[in-house]
Structure 1
Amino acid sequence: MKRLAAALALPLVFGLLSGCSGDDGGDDGSGSGRLTVLAAASLTDVYEEMATGFEKATGAEVTFSFGSSTDLAQQVADGAPGDVLATADQTSMQVAEDAGVTGDVETFATNVLTIVTPPDNPAGIRSLDDLEGATWVRCSDEAPCGRVALAVLEANGVTAEPASLEDDVRATLDKVTSGEADAGLVYASDAVAAGDSVATVEIPGAEHQLTSYLTTTLEQGKDADLAQEWVDYVLSDKGQAALADAGFSAP
C-alpha cells in the first residue's frame, strides 16, 4: 500500500515538471530520459518507492546503485557515471566535493542508530550492555553507519566486539534477518523497512549522534535537468513525507 500511495502522490508534485525532461528520452541530446542515482544503502526502500511515481510523472527511467556511501562517493570522484549522489554523512559527500564533481549539496534527512534483533530476541538483548557475550554485527569503520556506531558505543562505554563488520547497513541488517546474528546496529529507517522481520531496541541518547543525509547532482551526469528534478522532489514536502514514513527524521 505504501508503494501505491507514493505512486499516486508523486505525479501531483511532478505534473508541472514532466515537460522539462519529456517522454521521448531527449533524442536531440539535451536529455537522456534516463537517471542514474547512486545512494546510501539505507535509502533503498524509500528511493525505490519514490521512483515509481517519478517515472510515471516524467517518463524517465530511474536506475539505482545502492551501497556504502564511502564507496559510492569514491567511485564518482574517480569519474564513475551517475546523475545524482546521496550519501549518509558529510564525510562521504566531502570526497565527491573535493574531487569537484558535485553541484549544490543539500541536506535532506537525518537518521539515528538502533539495535535490531530477530523477532523472538533469543539472546535477550535489552540494551547496548547486553551485546557483551552476544553474536552481534555492525558496519565497518569506513562506512557512515560504522562511524556512527563507533560514536554511540564510545559514548555509552561499550567495549563488546562485534562478530563481523559489514560493508553497509543493509548487509548488517541481513545478518540479523537471516538469523546469523543475535543483534545488529542499524539505522532506525532500516528497522522500519524490515518490519516484522526484526524486533527493535531503542538506544537512549542515540539522537545525540545523528547522521545527516546529503544529495547533489553530478558533473558527469547526462541529464542535468532530470537530475535536478529528482533532487527537488526529495527536498519537497512529498519527498520529506515519504522519508518520514520510512523512519527518517527531518534535516
Structure 2
Amino acid sequence: MRATMTATVSVAALFLAGCASPAGTAGPVGAAAGGSSGTSGTVTGTVNVFAAASLKEAFTVLGARFESAHPGSKVVFNFGPSSGLATQVTQGAPADVFASASASTMDQVVKAGEASGPRTFARNVMEIAVPPSNPAGITGVADLTKPGVKVALCQPAVPCGAVAATVFANARLEVTPVSQEADVKAVLTKVGLGEVDAGVVYVTDVRSAGGRVTGIEIPAELNASTAYPIAALTKAANPAGAKAFTDYVLSSDGATVLAAGGFTKP
C-alpha cells in the first residue's frame, strides 16, 4: 500500500474547473444548460434540492451555473446524510429534487411513492484521510486497527459508513471507531482539526479539503464504491425546475463539474 499526498485542489479551484467550458463544446454555459434541459428561459422560481453532503462542492457550482442559465430561478440546497434526507422527503419535507449517495436510500424514496425513475449520475470511492502531519503514521487500512489509533467513521446507516464497512470486510479487518458521525463532512472536520488520527471518507472529500488533510489511497482490490442516483420528486412544488435541474446534473456540462471534483462516471 502506498501513501500519497492528495492534490490540494481547493473549492475555489473546483469552481474554476466547473466554470470552464468543456473541450469541444460550443456556446456559453447557458446554452449548455439549456440544451440539456430543453427549458432555457422557461424555468423560474425556487428549486429545492436535497443532496448528499459529499455533493456539496460540486452541486454548489452546478447550482450557480443553473441559475445563470435560467434567470429568475434560485436553487436552494439542503445538504446532509442521504439516509436522513430520505426520511425528510418521505415525511413530507418540501423538496423538488433528491440526489443520494446510495441506491438504497433512493429506493426508500421511490418505494414511498415520492419519486420514480431515478438515474445514476456519478460514482465515488473511499480514501483514508489523516491530518497533514499524519501523527499516527498511517500508511494503509491495516494501520486503522493498531492500538491507540483514533478513527472516525460515518454512522453505519449513512452511505459513507456502509461503504467503509465494505472496505474493512474486503480487507478482513475489524476497525473500532472512537466516533461515528452523521455525515462524511463531519468525519472530515474531525480529521482536519486533529481530533482523530484518521477517517474513512470519499476521495472527493479529501480533494475538496485541500491542505487541511492528507489522503492515503486504498488499493483497488480492497476499495469499494457507491453510486449516486438523482430524481425529480413526484410532489415537487416546481416540477419544471426539478426536471431541468435533474437534466442539467445528468448533462455533459454536469459531468465536467463532477469530474473536476473527483467523481467518476456511473
- On whether the aligned pair clears a TM of 0.5, the verdict is yes
Please show how residues 75-86 of structure 1 align to structure 2 within 5 Å: 75-86=88-99
Q: What secondary structure sits across from 1:112 in the alignment?
A: strand
The 1:104/1:88 distance shift into structure 2, 3 A limit, reads same
Please show how residues 193-232 of structure 1 align to structure 2 within 5 Å: 193-205=208-220, 209-232=224-247
Which residue of the other structure, out of 77, 91, 102, is the alignment partner of 2:115?
102
Q: CA deviation at 1:120?
A: 1.3
Unaligned runs of 5+ in 1: 26-32
1:88/1:213 contact within 8 Å kept: yes
Unaligned runs of 5+ in 2: 1-12, 22-28
User: Which amino acid in the other structure matches residue 81 of structure 1?
Assistant: P
Which residue of the other structure, out of 168, 175, 178, is the alignment partner of 2:183?
168
Please, what TM-score do these two structures have when normalized by structure 2?
Answer: 0.87
Looking at structure 1, the residues matched to 200 and 223 of structure 2 have their Cα atoms a distance apart, in angstroms, of 16
The 1:103/1:19 distance shift into structure 2, 3 A limit, reads farther
User: Which amino acid in the other structure matches residue 240 of structure 1?
Assistant: A
Looking at structure 2, the residues matched to 72 and 13 of structure 1 have their Cα atoms a distance apart, in angstroms, of 29
- Please, which moves more after superposition, 99-108 or 206-215? 206-215
> Who is 1:246 aligned against?
261
Which residue of the other structure, out of 64, 76, 88, is the alignment partner of 1:63?
76
Question: Identity percentage over the alignment?
Answer: 39
Looking at structure 1, the residues matched to 20 and 102 of structure 2 have their Cα atoms a distance apart, in angstroms, of 30
> Who is 1:30 aligned against?
none
1:112/1:206 contact within 8 Å kept: no
Looking at structure 2, the residues matched to 110 and 91 of structure 1 have their Cα atoms a distance apart, in angstroms, of 14
Looking at structure 2, the residues matched to 96 and 15 of structure 1 have their Cα atoms a distance apart, in angstroms, of 28
> Who is 1:50 aligned against?
62
Looking at structure 2, the residues matched to 5 and 85 of structure 1 have their Cα atoms a distance apart, in angstroms, of 24
Please, what TM-score do these two structures have when normalized by structure 1?
Answer: 0.92
Looking at structure 2, the residues matched to 127 and 208 of structure 1 have their Cα atoms a distance apart, in angstroms, of 11
- Please, which moves more after superposition, 168-177 or 219-228? 219-228
Looking at structure 2, the residues matched to 247 and 207 of structure 1 have their Cα atoms a distance apart, in angstroms, of 19
2:18/2:256 contact within 8 Å kept: no
Does 2:149 match 1:137? no
Q: CA deviation at 1:2?
A: 3.6
In angstroms, what is the RMSD of aligned CA positions? 1.5
Q: CA deviation at 1:205?
A: 2.6
Q: How many residues align?
A: 241
Q: CA deviation at 1:103?
A: 3.1
Any idea what the Cα deviations from partners look like across 1:163-192, whole Å, max 9, x if unmatched? Answer: 110001111111101111111000011111
Q: CA deviation at 1:14?
A: 2.3
1:152/1:206 contact within 8 Å kept: no
1:111/1:188 contact within 8 Å kept: yes
